[in-house]
Amino acid sequence: FRPKDFKELFNLHHTQACNTIVCIFGVIKRHFQLIVAALEYALEVQSKLVPTFYILHNFIHIHDPDDSNNEGD
């Protein structure tokens, strides 16, 4: 499949980015159950949680590849 014009190329890249973001949130939700629960933190704090969880996930994955929560990544 090759995009015919700029709009199709944009849509292709946009879809790929959306799929990647959904995958990242799936990994975070599986590994850190806190994010699944309704949070009662300020929006500023909540916006910092997702990148923090992702960094922690990567750290755990690098330093403990046998961690049982990494299955399915």
Is 23 within the bounds of a domain? yes
Domain, as residue range, for 12: 6-63
pLDDT band at 59 (very low <50, low <70, confident <90, very high): confident
Is 73 within the bounds of a domain? no
Is 47 within the bounds of a domain? yes
pLDDT band at 2 (very low <50, low <70, confident <90, very high): confident
Is 25 within the bounds of a domain? yes
Query: Given this model, what pLDDT does residue 38 score?
Result: 63
Rounded Cα distance, 2 and 5, in Å? 9
Quote the number of domains for the chain. Answer: 1
Mean pLDDT rounded to a whole number for the chain: 80
Is 53 within the bounds of a domain? yes
Vertex 31, ends 27 and 35: CA angle to 5°? Answer: 85
Residue of 7 and 61 predicted with greater confidence: 7
pLDDT at 34 over 70: no
pTM of the model: 0.55
Burial bucket for residue 50 (CB in 10 Å: 0-12, 13-18, 19+): middle
Is 71 within the bounds of a domain? no
